[in-house]
Amino acid sequence: MQETSIQFSGEAGEGIATAGDLLMQTCAHMGFEATCFKSFPSNIKGGYSSSLVKMAEAEIISPLSHFDILFALNAHSFSINRDRIRPADVVVVESAIMADTGIKEQAEALVSEQGVCLYQVPFSALARETLGMVASKNMIVLGAAAFLLNIPLDCLGSRIEKRFLEKAGQYRHALEVGANYLKDRKIAPSPLMPHDGADKETKAKRILLEGNKAVSLGALAAGCNFMSLYPITPATTIGQYLTEPILSNNGSTYQAEDEIAALGAVIGASFAGAKSMTITSGPGLSLMQEMLGYASMVELPIVIIDVQRGGPSTGMPTKHDQADLFAAAFGGHGESQRIILAATNVRDNIFLTIQAFNLSEKYQCPVILLSDTSLALIKQTIEWPDLEDVRIINRTVFVEDDLAAHKEYKRYAVSASGLNPISIPGFSPKTYIATSVEHDEDSSPRHTPEIRSRQMAKRFRKLDTLQKDHADLMEFDLEGIGKGGKADAAVIAWGLTAAITKEAVARLRKKGHKIAALYPRLLYPLCVEAIKALTSYSDRLFIPESNYLGQYAKLIKMHLSVDPIQFNISRGEPFYPEEIADELEAILNKSPRGDA
Amino acid sequence: MQWHGPAFYRKKEPKDFRSDLEPTWCKGCTYFSVLSALTRTFAEKQFDPTHLCVVSGIGCSSRLPLWLNAFGMHTLHGRAIPIALGVRMVQPDLPVIVVGGDGDLFSIGIGHFVHAARKNINMTVLSLDNRLYAMTKNQSSPTSPMGHHGTLTPCGKLSHPLNTLGFAISCGATLVAQTVFNDVSHIAQLLSRALDHEGFSFLNILAPCGSYAKENIAAIYRDKTVDINKDIGHDCTSKEAALAFILSIYNHDASNNVKIPIGLFFEDKSRPTFGKQVERMKAQYVGREAFSIKSILDNCEI
């Protein structure tokens, strides 16, 4: 697990994100695996912003972790990260912040008491004096970072040339200013990243992909030909990435007047035969609830991507939370059928989006894929995804040839599987009404106790085979535990928390703890069998979740008589692997083996 | 998507557009004449039931698609328009008709009306205007006259009714017309015109509720109306003239001893429909390799 992490923190709008992006791209081009995790305020400009870049020889599981090198470009950035600084970390601060005696004392204490390497660089002054502009400060920062990481400036330079063209010369100079400032003060580069400086070409074909872009790729691969949405942070960019490709595929896109209309258009489009999708975040999902019930009632395939953000209400539009599980699974009145999936990393965002379409077409019901603010913005190097041979499921359409076998077309026939072919206007030979009121097999509005009971059972029965047919959506990790063996603890984590938990679990295993883990991508309907299987390895079930209530743990408690140990945070930032490892380790140490 | 269903050799009659279901409207409901006008017009145009979509919201009038033989969507209260728009965008050649009541279209659903009219989405919106909420047993709606006694307005409705015709024109509807329930020929005539119109067409059908406002049936009757095209010679090509005319007669019911104007108030054939513009935009993109999955991946390649 030889990884290096560097965090840039400062005022939003100062180019922090750009610095992180360029560093990550450079590392990727040098042959490393790299990730970049961004956190920024809900303003256009101003407020605290940070960018965490990780680089490693092998695959990076968790894009979040502790930093080895911290760049604090203003006093606030230093203060809020101070408690996270560990001995032997390298901390680079803007010299100007040391004018504050309080900060100066704290910084000196870090050096004297913890052995932290603290470097002061007058980034703002350098930008003003040597370049005559503050705007290129981030390039000076990047130059300093490259120097500390022992990355040749030429490697960064080629990235900058590609991105900035005209200003590249000036920015290249800024890189040198940053690097030389440290070099001139005889500061030694950190030995964290040994390499020869040349781009490595031995690796398999890879891409550098952002979470939201991954969703758009999945939608295209699945054959999505209608998308409608209402702009909402942090989901909008998926729509941006998708609009032109969908048009080029002869599909249509529609920016609706609100989320109700967006999902309405998607349902209408699905009725007319399109593979359709909407993209939203929490507030939009709330507005869509009645429409979601309609899609379930008339059994039309639709896909909703919910890029979760901090709620309730407007909440924290640019901040992390994974608290929409209940709204996705149970929101709205009555009882309706939905399938809820959750992505754990950038790659999942591609393939689970494809799965979302497949499952909606197969089971004729809404599928909601949960992503989140952090995952939306995380960029990650991944293996080139093969999107040409993916398995695509299309709905069964009622066609001319079916007329011979079926005298009558009954859209809602009480069939064994609960499923029936769908008639498409302008295409199929028989019409039907998609009515939101309870209906009989021929869609006539009737609600005698018998008809109601039969139709309810029919609609829910459709999902009976879901768990069995899609066991691959439940990822078990039983490393070091034989079949029928025992573990010290069982762990379940979903969404981005799963990726972070994987790293925590790896750390604990290194210390000799036996851990059985389950990373569900199908959250609801709850895969009871998989959870039973996991708890057979240990009674001690630990579930870290990025929401206040521990929604998945509560869902499990609804179905099974287990009492999970919950570790919930709802602070607008994701977990760090260290936190999960520490929490679980403390639990394990309390009673090393057996029951807690 | 190409339709390749069975050929219909037989000439279609109005009854071919009726479903087997018996309407659940009250006996003598004014909506029956709208149903007749619809099936008559569909037959006149020799529409194909499998190539026709009628979308409604919730309410007495929104039950209408259930009595028709055509593809139908009986959706949510106030939400027919965005759903119909989705159908229309995927199948630009399919006639799409929205049916709603005054509460459905102009109270809960008014936000959608504004944008569909503004964008000139190619659809025909029929408002079955009975001036109250009937299904929930008589409450005031946006088109109820001031002073209307509903179950939630014991001292009478306190606000003015919405001027739906003027509103539709202001929003950007490109065909706006009004007709009255007991002249099936007139409804069919305007309906036919609305269906021929390329763009957002709005047809307000005055159809009082016989159960909760019986007195309106006598008051809002064909003989209390004036045909603005035949009798007055109204110029329906001018937006200004149409708006001025509508404002001058706003809130004038037969109760004011002024005849209720019916007919085609406004039609603008020049504005391109949203769908046409989408097609034009699409033409710039279709088949462009730069937006293929492979190109996107190539751009992400390290």
Q: Residues A515-538: pLDDT tens digits?
A: 999 999 999 999 999 999 999 999
Q: What is the pLDDT of residues B76-96, one digit of tens each?
A: 999 999 999 999 999 999 999
Interface contacts A/B by beta carbons within 8 Å: 207
Q: Whole-model pTM?
A: 0.96
Q: Which of A254, A265, A431 sits opposite B50 (nearest CB)?
A: A431
Looking at the partner chain, which of B74, B82, B288 has a beta carbon nearest the beta carbon of A264? B82
Q: Is some CB atom of chain B closer than 8 A to the CB atom of A392?
A: no
Span B221-226, mean pLDDT?
Answer: 87
Q: Which residues of A touch B79 (CB under 8 A)?
A: 260-261, 264, 290-291, 294
Q: How far apart are CA A115 and CA A168, in angstroms?
A: 38
Residue with tokens 């050799």: B9
pLDDT digits (tens, 9 = 90+) for A227-244: 999 999 999 999 999 999
Pairing outcome for strands A48-56 and A3-11: antiparallel
| pLDDT computed for residue A495 by the predictor | 98
In this complex, do A264 and B90 lie within 8 Å of one another by their Cβ atoms?
A: no
Chain B residues within an 8 Å CB radius of A400 = 4-6
> For residue B254, what pLDDT band results from cuts at 50, 70 and 90?
very low
**Helix, strand counts (H, E) of chain B:** 10, 10
Q: Are B210 and B30 in contact (CB under 8 A)?
A: yes
Give the closest of A248, A271, A385 to B87, CB-based. Answer: A271
Quick one: A118 exposed, middle or buried, by C-beta within 10 A (0-12, 13-18, 19+)?
middle
Candidates A226, A400, A434; nearest CB to B73: A434
Residue of B nearest to A208 (CA): B300
Q: Find the mean pLDDT for residues B63-73.
A: 98
pLDDT for the residue numbered A203: 66
Predicted confidence at residue B216, as pLDDT, reads 86
Helix (H) or strand (E) holding A370: strand A366-372
pLDDT value for A158 = 87
What is the C-alpha separation between A403 and A397, in angstroms, rounded? 12
Please tell me the least confidently modeled range out of A11-25, A257-271, A289-303: A11-25
Tokens of B270: 């020049």
CB contact under 8 A, B71 and A384: no
Asked if A426 has any chain B CB less than 8 Å from its own CB, the reply is: yes
Q: Could you tell me if A69 and A141 are in contact, meaning their C-beta atoms sit under 8 angstroms apart? A: no
∠ CA B37-B39-B44, rounded to 5°:
90
Residues sharing a CB contact under 8 Å with residue A109, sequence separation 6 or more, in sequence order: none
Confidence band (pLDDT; 50, 70, 90) for A334? Answer: very high
- Lowest model confidence (mean pLDDT) among A42-46, A237-241, A493-497, A575-579: A42-46
Comparing A101-115, A153-167, B58-72, B187-201, the range with the smallest average pLDDT is A153-167
What pLDDT, in 10s, does the model give residues A289-320?
Answer: 999 999 999 999 999 999 999 999 999 999 99
CB of A261 within 8 Å of any CB in chain B?
yes
Nearest to B224 by CA among B250, B254, B246: B254
- Residue A475: how many CB atoms within 10 A of its CB? 15
- Give the burial class of B233: count Cβ atoms within 10 A of its Cβ; 0-12 exposed, 13-18 middle, 19 or more buried: exposed
Looking at CA atoms only, how far is residue A403 from chain B in angstroms?
10
Please report residues of A whose CB lies closer than 8 A to that of B279: none
Interchain contact, B90 vs A400, CB within 8 Å: no
| Contact predicate A364/A270, CB 8 Å | no
Out of B65, B85, B282, the one facing A268 most closely (by C-beta) is: B85
Preferred mutation among A433, A437, A442, A447 to probe B, highest tally of B CBs within 10 A: A433
Distance from CA of A434 to the nearest CA of B (A): 5
- Please state, rounded to an integer, the average pLDDT across all residues of chain B: 93
Give the DSSP letter of residue A165: G
- Looking at the partner chain, which of B49, B84, B90 has a beta carbon nearest the beta carbon of A431? B49
The CA–CA distances, whole Å, from B64 to A201, A240, B77, B105, B128 equal 66, 39, 14, 15, 10
Quickly state the pLDDT bin for A40 (edges 50, 70, 90): confident
Residue A491's contacts (CB-CB under 8 Å, 6 or more residues apart) are: A501, A505, A515, A516, A517, A518, A541, A542, A543, A544, A584
Contacts with A245 from chain B: Cβ below 8 Å: 291-293, 296
Give which of A252, A378, A392, A447 to mutate to test B binding, by max B Cβ within 10 Å. Answer: A252
Q: Do B3 and A437 touch (CB under 8 A)?
A: no
Q: A220, B296: Cβ pair inside 8 Å?
A: yes
CB contact under 8 A, A257 and B281: no
Quick check: B87 and A291 CB within 8 A? no
Could you give the CA distance from residue A321 to residue A319 in angstroms, rounded to a whole number?
Answer: 7
Any B CB within 8 A of A266 CB: yes
Please spell the DSSP secondary structure of A564-584, one letter per residue.
-EEEE--SSS---HHHHHHHH
pLDDT, residue B259, reads 85
Query: Once rounded to an integer, what is the mean pLDDT over residues A471-478?
Result: 97
- Tokens 């994100």 locate to A17
Whether residues A250 and B3 touch (CB distance < 8 A) is answered with: no
Residues B76, B105: contact at Cβ < 8 Å?
no
Question: What is the mean pLDDT of the segment spanning A252-267?
Answer: 98
